Protein backbone atom coordinates (compact mmCIF):
# COMPACT_ATOMS: atom_id res chain seq x y z
CA UNK A 1 0.00 0.00 0.00
CA UNK A 2 1.40 3.38 -1.05
CA UNK A 3 1.82 6.30 1.35
CA UNK A 4 -0.92 8.40 -0.32
CA UNK A 5 -3.40 5.56 0.15
CA UNK A 6 -2.35 5.13 3.78
CA UNK A 7 -2.76 8.86 4.34
CA UNK A 8 -6.22 8.80 2.70
CA UNK A 9 -7.25 5.80 4.81
CA UNK A 10 -5.97 7.44 8.00
CA UNK A 11 -7.83 10.63 7.12
CA UNK A 12 -11.08 8.73 6.64
CA UNK A 13 -10.59 6.86 9.92
CA UNK A 14 -9.83 10.09 11.76
CA UNK A 15 -12.84 11.82 10.25
CA UNK A 16 -15.07 8.89 11.10
CA UNK A 17 -13.73 8.85 14.65
CA UNK A 18 -14.41 12.57 15.08
CA UNK A 19 -17.94 12.22 13.75
CA UNK A 20 -18.59 9.16 15.96
CA UNK A 21 -17.33 10.98 19.03
CA UNK A 22 -19.50 14.01 18.26
CA UNK A 23 -22.55 11.76 17.85
CA UNK A 24 -21.78 10.11 21.21
CA UNK A 25 -21.52 13.54 22.84
CA UNK A 26 -24.81 14.57 21.25
CA UNK A 27 -26.48 11.37 22.49
CA UNK A 28 -25.22 11.67 26.06
CA UNK A 29 -26.23 15.33 26.31
CA UNK A 30 -29.66 14.46 24.89
CA UNK A 31 -30.15 11.68 27.44
CA UNK A 32 -29.15 13.96 30.31
CA UNK A 33 -31.60 16.61 29.12
CA UNK A 34 -34.38 14.04 28.73
CA UNK A 35 -33.74 12.89 32.30
CA UNK A 36 -33.93 16.50 33.46
CA UNK A 37 -37.33 16.91 31.78
CA UNK A 38 -38.66 13.76 33.41
CA UNK A 39 -37.35 14.84 36.81
CA UNK A 40 -38.94 18.28 36.50
CA UNK A 41 -42.31 16.81 35.49
CA UNK A 42 -42.21 14.26 38.32
CA UNK A 43 -41.26 16.93 40.85
CA UNK A 44 -44.10 19.17 39.67
CA UNK A 45 -46.53 16.28 39.97
CA UNK A 46 -45.34 15.42 43.49
CA UNK A 47 -45.78 19.03 44.57
CA UNK A 48 -49.25 19.12 43.00
CA UNK A 49 -50.78 15.89 44.38
CA UNK A 50 -49.16 15.52 47.79
CA UNK A 51 -50.73 16.59 51.06
CA UNK A 52 -49.02 19.80 52.13
CA UNK A 53 -47.58 19.65 55.65
CA UNK A 54 -48.49 22.18 58.31
CA UNK A 55 -47.11 25.61 57.48
CA UNK A 56 -46.57 26.80 61.05
CA UNK A 57 -44.35 25.31 63.74
CA UNK A 58 -47.00 25.37 66.45
CA UNK A 59 -49.34 23.32 64.22
CA UNK A 60 -46.59 20.74 63.76
CA UNK A 61 -45.93 20.65 67.49
CA UNK A 62 -49.61 20.23 68.36
CA UNK A 63 -49.92 17.42 65.86
CA UNK A 64 -46.73 15.44 66.49
CA UNK A 65 -45.22 16.33 69.87
CA UNK A 66 -46.60 13.15 71.47
CA UNK A 67 -45.58 10.95 68.53
CA UNK A 68 -42.07 12.21 67.83
CA UNK A 69 -39.43 9.49 68.37
CA UNK A 70 -36.17 10.37 70.18
CA UNK A 71 -33.42 11.64 67.90
CA UNK A 72 -29.66 11.92 68.37
CA UNK A 73 -28.27 14.89 66.42
CA UNK A 74 -24.64 14.17 65.50
CA UNK A 75 -22.50 17.20 64.68
CA UNK A 76 -18.85 16.50 63.77
CA UNK A 77 -16.58 19.52 63.98
CA UNK A 78 -12.98 20.38 63.19
CA UNK A 79 -11.26 23.72 63.87
CA UNK A 80 -14.48 25.69 64.35
CA UNK A 81 -13.76 27.67 67.50
CA UNK A 82 -15.27 30.88 66.08
CA UNK A 83 -18.71 29.46 65.29
CA UNK A 84 -19.11 26.23 67.26
CA UNK A 85 -20.82 27.79 70.31
CA UNK A 86 -23.56 29.41 68.20
CA UNK A 87 -23.97 26.22 66.17
CA UNK A 88 -24.46 24.08 69.27
CA UNK A 89 -26.89 26.58 70.81
CA UNK A 90 -28.96 26.42 67.63
CA UNK A 91 -29.01 22.61 67.77
CA UNK A 92 -30.05 22.65 71.42
CA UNK A 93 -32.84 25.13 70.57
CA UNK A 94 -34.40 22.96 67.86
CA UNK A 95 -38.16 22.67 68.32
CA UNK A 96 -38.29 19.00 69.20
CA UNK A 97 -39.64 17.21 72.28
CA UNK A 98 -36.84 14.66 72.80
CA UNK A 99 -33.46 15.09 71.17
CA UNK A 100 -29.86 14.83 72.30
CA UNK A 101 -26.99 16.68 70.66
CA UNK A 102 -23.78 14.70 70.21
CA UNK A 103 -20.90 16.99 69.22
CA UNK A 104 -17.79 15.15 68.01
CA UNK A 105 -14.54 17.11 68.12
CA UNK A 106 -12.45 15.44 65.43
CA UNK A 107 -9.01 16.29 66.79
CA UNK A 108 -9.29 20.05 66.27
CA UNK A 109 -6.00 21.92 66.40
CA UNK A 110 -7.53 25.20 67.51
CA UNK A 111 -9.53 26.03 70.65
CA UNK A 112 -12.74 24.25 69.58
CA UNK A 113 -12.62 21.81 72.49
CA UNK A 114 -11.82 24.49 75.08
CA UNK A 115 -14.58 26.72 73.72
CA UNK A 116 -17.15 23.95 74.04
CA UNK A 117 -16.06 23.01 77.54
CA UNK A 118 -16.14 26.64 78.70
CA UNK A 119 -19.37 27.74 77.01
CA UNK A 120 -21.47 24.76 78.08
CA UNK A 121 -19.85 23.87 81.42
CA UNK A 122 -18.72 20.44 80.24
CA UNK A 123 -17.16 17.89 82.58
CA UNK A 124 -15.62 14.45 81.92
CA UNK A 125 -17.86 11.41 82.38
CA UNK A 126 -17.68 7.66 81.92
CA UNK A 127 -20.06 6.51 79.20
CA UNK A 128 -20.13 3.20 77.41
CA UNK A 129 -19.93 3.26 73.64
CA UNK A 130 -22.78 1.12 72.32
CA UNK A 131 -21.07 0.41 68.98
CA UNK A 132 -17.43 0.95 68.02
CA UNK A 133 -17.45 2.08 64.41
CA UNK A 134 -14.65 4.64 64.32
CA UNK A 135 -11.01 3.83 63.55
CA UNK A 136 -9.35 6.40 65.78
CA UNK A 137 -9.06 6.64 69.56
CA UNK A 138 -11.61 8.32 71.80
CA UNK A 139 -9.79 10.82 74.02
CA UNK A 140 -12.63 11.84 76.29
CA UNK A 141 -16.39 12.08 76.79
CA UNK A 142 -17.99 15.16 78.36
CA UNK A 143 -21.47 16.03 79.63
CA UNK A 144 -22.90 19.50 80.20
CA UNK A 145 -24.00 20.76 83.60
CA UNK A 146 -26.28 23.25 81.82
CA UNK A 147 -27.84 21.01 79.18
CA UNK A 148 -28.61 17.38 80.10
CA UNK A 149 -29.12 16.52 76.42
CA UNK A 150 -25.66 17.69 75.29
CA UNK A 151 -22.77 15.24 74.90
CA UNK A 152 -19.25 16.02 73.69
CA UNK A 153 -16.93 13.39 72.25
CA UNK A 154 -13.26 14.27 71.87
CA UNK A 155 -11.27 12.01 69.54
CA UNK A 156 -8.18 11.82 67.40
CA UNK A 157 -8.49 13.26 63.92
CA UNK A 158 -9.94 10.87 61.37
CA UNK A 159 -12.03 13.12 59.07
CA UNK A 160 -15.79 13.49 58.95
CA UNK A 161 -16.84 9.88 58.35
CA UNK A 162 -14.83 8.68 61.32
CA UNK A 163 -16.27 11.44 63.52
CA UNK A 164 -19.84 10.59 62.53
CA UNK A 165 -19.17 6.92 63.27
CA UNK A 166 -17.98 7.84 66.75
CA UNK A 167 -21.17 9.81 67.28
CA UNK A 168 -23.32 6.92 66.09
CA UNK A 169 -21.54 4.67 68.57
CA UNK A 170 -22.45 6.92 71.50
CA UNK A 171 -25.95 7.88 70.29
CA UNK A 172 -28.83 6.37 72.24
CA UNK A 173 -31.87 7.31 70.12
CA UNK A 174 -33.37 5.06 67.41
CA UNK A 175 -32.96 7.85 64.86
CA UNK A 176 -29.78 9.80 64.19
CA UNK A 177 -29.62 13.14 62.41
CA UNK A 178 -26.23 13.75 60.79
CA UNK A 179 -25.47 17.42 60.23
CA UNK A 180 -22.41 19.53 59.56
CA UNK A 181 -21.60 21.61 62.62
CA UNK A 182 -21.38 24.77 60.48
CA UNK A 183 -24.79 24.18 58.87
CA UNK A 184 -28.02 25.68 60.18
CA UNK A 185 -31.28 23.73 60.46
CA UNK A 186 -34.44 25.78 60.61
CA UNK A 187 -35.97 25.47 64.11
CA UNK A 188 -38.78 23.16 62.97
CA UNK A 189 -36.56 21.19 60.58
CA UNK A 190 -36.01 18.22 62.87
CA UNK A 191 -39.74 17.85 63.57
CA UNK A 192 -40.55 18.07 59.86
CA UNK A 193 -37.79 15.59 59.07
CA UNK A 194 -38.98 12.94 61.51
CA UNK A 195 -42.65 13.28 60.52
CA UNK A 196 -42.43 10.47 57.90
CA UNK A 197 -41.04 8.11 60.57
CA UNK A 198 -44.07 8.71 62.81
CA UNK A 199 -46.50 7.22 60.30
CA UNK A 200 -44.12 4.60 58.90
CA UNK A 201 -44.47 0.83 59.14
CA UNK A 202 -40.78 0.43 59.95
CA UNK A 203 -39.51 0.29 56.36
CA UNK A 204 -38.31 3.90 56.19
CA UNK A 205 -34.55 3.90 56.76
CA UNK A 206 -33.44 7.40 55.76
CA UNK A 207 -34.71 10.80 54.71
CA UNK A 208 -33.00 13.82 53.21
CA UNK A 209 -33.91 17.49 53.25
CA UNK A 210 -33.37 20.57 51.12
CA UNK A 211 -29.98 22.24 51.37
CA UNK A 212 -30.03 25.98 50.70
CA UNK A 213 -27.18 28.47 50.40
CA UNK A 214 -26.90 31.02 53.20
CA UNK A 215 -24.20 33.23 51.66
CA UNK A 216 -25.32 36.81 52.14
CA UNK A 217 -28.21 35.96 54.49
CA UNK A 218 -28.31 37.47 57.98
CA UNK A 219 -27.51 34.97 60.75
CA UNK A 220 -28.07 35.62 64.43
CA UNK A 221 -27.71 33.16 67.30
CA UNK A 222 -27.26 30.23 64.93
CA UNK A 223 -30.46 30.99 62.97
CA UNK A 224 -31.06 32.53 59.55
CA UNK A 225 -32.99 35.68 60.44
CA UNK A 226 -33.27 37.16 56.96
CA UNK A 227 -32.84 35.35 53.64
CA UNK A 228 -30.82 37.35 51.16
CA UNK A 229 -29.34 36.59 47.78
CA UNK A 230 -25.51 36.35 47.74
CA UNK A 231 -23.73 39.45 46.49
CA UNK A 232 -21.38 37.67 44.07
CA UNK A 233 -22.34 35.81 40.92
CA UNK A 234 -20.35 32.68 41.81
CA UNK A 235 -22.54 31.77 44.83
CA UNK A 236 -25.64 32.85 42.86
CA UNK A 237 -24.93 30.19 40.27
CA UNK A 238 -24.69 27.70 43.12
CA UNK A 239 -28.07 28.83 44.49
CA UNK A 240 -29.50 27.81 41.13
CA UNK A 241 -27.63 24.49 41.12
CA UNK A 242 -28.92 23.62 44.58
CA UNK A 243 -32.48 24.42 43.52
CA UNK A 244 -32.15 22.08 40.53
CA UNK A 245 -30.57 19.34 42.62
CA UNK A 246 -32.99 19.39 45.54
CA UNK A 247 -36.30 20.53 44.07
CA UNK A 248 -36.22 18.40 40.93
CA UNK A 249 -33.62 15.63 41.00
CA UNK A 250 -33.96 14.57 44.66
CA UNK A 251 -37.76 14.76 44.69
CA UNK A 252 -38.06 12.82 41.42
CA UNK A 253 -35.55 10.16 42.46
CA UNK A 254 -37.27 9.67 45.81
CA UNK A 255 -40.58 9.28 44.00
CA UNK A 256 -39.05 6.61 41.73
CA UNK A 257 -37.30 4.83 44.60
CA UNK A 258 -33.86 5.61 43.14
CA UNK A 259 -32.59 8.27 45.57
CA UNK A 260 -28.87 7.53 46.00
CA UNK A 261 -27.69 10.71 47.70
CA UNK A 262 -28.64 12.33 50.98
CA UNK A 263 -26.48 15.38 51.54
CA UNK A 264 -23.85 15.12 54.24
CA UNK A 265 -25.04 18.52 55.50
CA UNK A 266 -28.33 17.02 56.74
CA UNK A 267 -29.88 13.56 56.85
CA UNK A 268 -31.90 11.42 59.26
CA UNK A 269 -31.20 7.69 59.45
CA UNK A 270 -32.45 4.70 61.36
CA UNK A 271 -29.53 4.07 63.68
CA UNK A 272 -29.86 0.28 63.69
CA UNK A 273 -29.34 0.12 59.92
CA UNK A 274 -26.21 2.29 60.08
CA UNK A 275 -24.77 0.01 62.76
CA UNK A 276 -25.65 -3.13 60.76
CA UNK A 277 -23.74 -1.94 57.71
CA UNK A 278 -20.74 -0.79 59.76
CA UNK A 279 -21.29 2.97 59.57
CA UNK A 280 -19.67 5.34 57.12
CA UNK A 281 -16.63 4.27 55.10
CA UNK A 282 -13.32 5.94 55.88
CA UNK A 283 -11.67 5.37 52.50
CA UNK A 284 -13.79 7.66 50.33
CA UNK A 285 -14.15 11.41 49.89
CA UNK A 286 -17.83 10.96 49.01
CA UNK A 287 -19.15 9.29 52.15
CA UNK A 288 -22.68 10.71 51.80
CA UNK A 289 -23.28 9.13 48.38
CA UNK A 290 -21.58 5.88 49.36
CA UNK A 291 -23.56 5.34 52.60
CA UNK A 292 -26.95 5.64 50.88
CA UNK A 293 -25.87 3.45 47.96
CA UNK A 294 -24.64 0.85 50.45
CA UNK A 295 -27.94 0.99 52.34
CA UNK A 296 -29.78 0.23 49.10
CA UNK A 297 -27.43 -2.64 48.34
CA UNK A 298 -27.60 -4.10 51.85
CA UNK A 299 -31.38 -3.97 52.10
CA UNK A 300 -31.82 -5.48 48.65
CA UNK A 301 -29.40 -8.29 49.38
CA UNK A 302 -31.16 -8.94 52.69
CA UNK A 303 -34.51 -8.87 50.83
CA UNK A 304 -35.95 -6.51 53.39
CA UNK A 305 -38.59 -3.92 52.52
CA UNK A 306 -37.25 -0.38 52.87
CA UNK A 307 -37.64 3.19 51.69
CA UNK A 308 -35.37 6.21 51.32
CA UNK A 309 -37.41 9.42 51.30
CA UNK A 310 -37.00 13.15 50.77
CA UNK A 311 -38.81 15.99 52.56
CA UNK A 312 -38.43 19.30 50.66
CA UNK A 313 -39.81 21.40 53.56
CA UNK A 314 -36.84 20.49 55.75
CA UNK A 315 -34.45 23.38 55.15
CA UNK A 316 -30.79 23.24 56.12
CA UNK A 317 -28.66 26.28 55.35
CA UNK A 318 -25.01 25.95 54.42
CA UNK A 319 -22.22 28.16 53.14
CA UNK A 320 -21.17 27.65 49.53
CA UNK A 321 -17.66 28.30 48.21
CA UNK A 322 -17.24 31.98 47.40
CA UNK A 323 -14.13 31.74 45.21
CA UNK A 324 -13.00 29.61 42.29
CA UNK A 325 -10.41 27.67 44.28
CA UNK A 326 -12.98 26.57 46.83
CA UNK A 327 -15.45 25.61 44.11
CA UNK A 328 -12.76 23.66 42.25
CA UNK A 329 -11.86 21.68 45.37
CA UNK A 330 -15.48 20.96 46.23
CA UNK A 331 -16.54 19.82 42.75
CA UNK A 332 -13.40 17.77 42.22
CA UNK A 333 -14.06 16.02 45.53
CA UNK A 334 -17.70 15.33 44.65
CA UNK A 335 -16.70 13.88 41.28
CA UNK A 336 -14.00 11.71 42.82
CA UNK A 337 -16.43 10.44 45.46
CA UNK A 338 -18.98 9.52 42.80
CA UNK A 339 -16.42 7.45 40.88
CA UNK A 340 -15.31 5.71 44.08
CA UNK A 341 -18.91 4.74 44.84
CA UNK A 342 -19.64 3.58 41.31
CA UNK A 343 -16.55 1.38 41.17
CA UNK A 344 -17.13 -0.04 44.66
CA UNK A 345 -20.75 -0.92 43.87
CA UNK A 346 -20.39 -1.64 40.15
CA UNK A 347 -22.11 -5.01 40.43
CA UNK A 348 -25.36 -3.12 41.06
CA UNK A 349 -25.31 -1.46 37.62
CA UNK A 350 -28.01 -2.95 35.34
CA UNK A 351 -28.50 -5.74 37.87
CA UNK A 352 -32.22 -6.55 38.31
CA UNK A 353 -31.47 -7.95 41.77
CA UNK A 354 -31.25 -4.35 42.97
CA UNK A 355 -34.55 -3.27 41.46
CA UNK A 356 -34.98 0.29 40.23
CA UNK A 357 -31.76 1.36 41.92
CA UNK A 358 -29.78 -1.14 39.82
CA UNK A 359 -31.72 -0.69 36.59
CA UNK A 360 -32.30 3.09 36.70
CA UNK A 361 -30.47 4.85 39.52
CA UNK A 362 -26.97 3.46 39.02
CA UNK A 363 -26.98 3.69 35.17
CA UNK A 364 -28.08 7.33 35.43
CA UNK A 365 -25.21 7.92 37.83
CA UNK A 366 -22.87 6.46 35.20
CA UNK A 367 -24.26 8.82 32.57
CA UNK A 368 -24.07 11.83 34.87
CA UNK A 369 -20.69 11.21 36.51
CA UNK A 370 -18.72 9.04 34.07
CA UNK A 371 -19.89 9.83 30.54
CA UNK A 372 -21.41 13.26 31.08
CA UNK A 373 -18.43 15.53 31.89
CA UNK A 374 -16.00 14.33 29.18
CA UNK A 375 -18.74 14.08 26.55
CA UNK A 376 -19.96 17.62 27.15
CA UNK A 377 -16.40 18.99 27.16
CA UNK A 378 -15.57 17.12 23.93
CA UNK A 379 -18.84 18.36 22.44
CA UNK A 380 -17.85 21.98 23.02
CA UNK A 381 -14.56 21.28 21.24
CA UNK A 382 -15.56 18.80 18.53
CA UNK A 383 -18.75 20.31 17.16
CA UNK A 384 -17.13 23.66 16.19
CA UNK A 385 -14.10 21.77 14.84
CA UNK A 386 -16.28 19.58 12.61
CA UNK A 387 -18.07 22.67 11.35
CA UNK A 388 -14.78 24.42 10.51
CA UNK A 389 -13.59 21.29 8.68
CA UNK A 390 -16.82 21.23 6.67
CA UNK A 391 -17.83 17.87 8.15
CA UNK A 392 -21.09 19.05 9.69
CA UNK A 393 -23.69 21.73 9.09
CA UNK A 394 -24.47 24.87 11.00
CA UNK A 395 -27.79 23.29 11.96
CA UNK A 396 -26.00 20.62 13.97
CA UNK A 397 -23.90 23.25 15.73
CA UNK A 398 -27.01 25.22 16.65
CA UNK A 399 -28.76 22.04 17.80
CA UNK A 400 -25.90 21.06 20.11
CA UNK A 401 -25.60 24.45 21.74
CA UNK A 402 -29.39 24.65 22.06
CA UNK A 403 -29.29 21.37 23.96
CA UNK A 404 -26.65 22.66 26.35
CA UNK A 405 -27.55 26.34 26.73
CA UNK A 406 -31.21 27.02 25.97
CA UNK A 407 -32.44 23.72 27.33
CA UNK A 408 -30.45 24.05 30.53
CA UNK A 409 -31.78 27.57 31.03
CA UNK A 410 -35.37 26.38 30.54
CA UNK A 411 -34.94 23.60 33.13
CA UNK A 412 -33.48 26.09 35.59
CA UNK A 413 -36.37 28.51 35.12
CA UNK A 414 -38.86 25.66 35.56
CA UNK A 415 -37.21 24.71 38.84
CA UNK A 416 -37.26 28.33 39.98
CA UNK A 417 -40.99 28.46 39.23
CA UNK A 418 -41.52 25.35 41.37
CA UNK A 419 -39.64 26.93 44.25
CA UNK A 420 -41.67 30.12 44.09
CA UNK A 421 -45.03 28.34 43.81
CA UNK A 422 -44.38 25.78 46.54
CA UNK A 423 -41.75 26.83 49.09
CA UNK A 424 -41.26 30.57 48.56
CA UNK A 425 -37.87 30.88 50.21
CA UNK A 426 -36.80 33.62 47.79
CA UNK A 427 -38.47 36.65 49.38
CA UNK A 428 -37.94 39.45 46.84
CA UNK A 429 -38.96 39.76 43.19
CA UNK A 430 -35.57 41.33 42.46
CA UNK A 431 -33.82 38.21 43.77
CA UNK A 432 -35.96 35.99 41.55
CA UNK A 433 -35.01 38.15 38.57
CA UNK A 434 -31.30 37.92 39.37
CA UNK A 435 -31.49 34.13 39.75
CA UNK A 436 -33.26 33.95 36.39
CA UNK A 437 -30.44 36.00 34.85
CA UNK A 438 -27.95 33.62 36.46
CA UNK A 439 -29.78 30.72 34.78
CA UNK A 440 -28.80 32.17 31.43
CA UNK A 441 -25.29 33.47 31.98
CA UNK A 442 -24.08 30.41 33.92
CA UNK A 443 -23.90 28.68 30.54
CA UNK A 444 -21.09 30.96 29.41
CA UNK A 445 -18.09 30.08 31.54
CA UNK A 446 -19.38 28.76 34.85
CA UNK A 447 -20.80 25.55 33.44
CA UNK A 448 -17.66 24.83 31.43
CA UNK A 449 -15.42 25.54 34.44
CA UNK A 450 -17.42 23.03 36.46
CA UNK A 451 -16.83 20.41 33.79
CA UNK A 452 -13.08 21.04 34.00
CA UNK A 453 -13.24 20.71 37.79
CA UNK A 454 -15.05 17.40 37.43
CA UNK A 455 -12.41 16.13 35.01
CA UNK A 456 -9.89 17.09 37.67
CA UNK A 457 -11.83 14.92 40.12
CA UNK A 458 -11.57 12.01 37.69
CA UNK A 459 -7.82 12.56 37.49
CA UNK A 460 -7.59 12.57 41.28
CA UNK A 461 -9.50 9.28 41.37
CA UNK A 462 -7.18 7.56 38.90
CA UNK A 463 -4.18 8.86 40.84
CA UNK A 464 -5.75 7.49 44.06
CA UNK A 465 -5.34 10.90 45.66
CA UNK A 466 -7.57 10.80 48.76
CA UNK A 467 -6.24 13.98 50.35
CA UNK A 468 -9.00 16.32 51.51
CA UNK A 469 -9.04 19.52 49.43
CA UNK A 470 -11.11 21.92 51.52
CA UNK A 471 -13.24 24.81 50.33
CA UNK A 472 -12.41 28.09 52.04
CA UNK A 473 -15.17 29.74 54.08
CA UNK A 474 -15.92 33.41 54.56
CA UNK A 475 -18.41 32.83 57.37
CA UNK A 476 -22.08 33.78 57.61
CA UNK A 477 -23.15 37.41 57.68
CA UNK A 478 -23.88 38.35 61.29
CA UNK A 479 -26.48 40.73 62.70
Each domain of the chain, given as residue ranges in start order, spans 22-49+371-463, 57-353
Q: Identify the three-state secondary structure at position 402.
A: helix
Helix 159-170 with 287-301: angle, nearest 10 deg: 50
Query: Checking DSSP bridges between strand 477-478 and strand 218-220, what pairing results, if any?
Result: parallel
Q: How high is the pLDDT of residue 3?
A: 43
Query: Checking DSSP bridges between strand 266-270 and strand 175-179, what pairing results, if any?
Result: antiparallel
Q: How high is the pLDDT of residue 426?
A: 66
Count of helices and strands (H, E) across the chain: 18, 13
CA dihedral angle for residue 321, residue 36, residue 289, residue 227, rounded to 10 degrees: 40
What span, in angstroms and rounded, lies between the C-alpha atoms of 345 and 103? Answer: 31
Q: Which residues contact 64 (CB under 8 A, 6 or more apart)?
A: 191, 194, 195, 198
Per-residue pLDDT of the chain (479 residues; tens, 9 = 90+): 454 544 444 445 456 677 777 778 878 888 888 898 899 889 888 887 775 665 566 566 667 767 789 999 999 999 988 888 888 999 999 989 899 999 999 999 999 999 999 999 999 999 989 999 999 999 999 999 999 999 999 999 999 999 999 999 999 999 999 998 878 898 888 998 998 998 888 899 999 999 999 888 888 777 788 888 898 899 999 999 998 888 899 999 999 999 999 999 999 999 999 999 999 998 899 999 999 999 999 999 999 999 999 998 888 999 899 899 999 999 999 999 999 999 999 999 999 999 999 999 999 999 999 998 998 888 888 878 877 877 777 777 777 777 777 778 888 888 887 776 666 666 677 888 888 899 889 988 999 999 999 999 999 999 988 877 666 666 555 55
What span, in angstroms and rounded, lies between the C-alpha atoms of 138 and 407? Answer: 51
Tell which residue, 33, 29, 408, 35, has the closest CA to residue 252. 35
Query: Checking DSSP bridges between strand 71-77 and strand 175-179, what pairing results, if any?
Result: parallel
Enter the pTM of the model: 0.91
Beta strands per DSSP E along 137-282: 138-144, 150-155, 175-179, 184-185, 204-213, 218-220, 223-226, 266-270
Query: Checking DSSP bridges between strand 122-124 and strand 138-144, what pairing results, if any?
Result: antiparallel
Tell which residue, 146, 154, 202, 199, has the closest CA to residue 174. 202
Q: How high is the pLDDT of residue 271?
A: 97
Radius of gyration of the chain measured on its C-alpha atoms: 24
Q: How high is the pLDDT of residue 6?
A: 40
Q: How high is the pLDDT of residue 55?
A: 58
Q: Identify the three-state secondary structure at position 393.
A: coil
Place domain 57-353 in its CATH homologous superfamily: Spore Coat Polysaccharide Biosynthesis Protein SpsA; Chain A (3.90.550.10)
Amino acid sequence: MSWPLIAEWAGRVGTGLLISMSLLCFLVVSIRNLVSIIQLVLAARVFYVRIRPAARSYELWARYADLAPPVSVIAPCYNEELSIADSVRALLALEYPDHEVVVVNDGSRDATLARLIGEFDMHPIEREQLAVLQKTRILGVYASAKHPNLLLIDKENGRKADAVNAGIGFATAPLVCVIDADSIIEPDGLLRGTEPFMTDDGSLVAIGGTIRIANGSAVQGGHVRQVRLPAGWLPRYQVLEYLRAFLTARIANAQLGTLLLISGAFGIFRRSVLVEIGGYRHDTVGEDLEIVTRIHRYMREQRRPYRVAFVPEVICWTEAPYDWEGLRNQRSRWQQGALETLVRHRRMIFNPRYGRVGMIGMPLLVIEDVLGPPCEIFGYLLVPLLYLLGLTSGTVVIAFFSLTVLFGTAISLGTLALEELQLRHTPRARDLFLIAIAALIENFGYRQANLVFRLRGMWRYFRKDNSWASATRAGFAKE
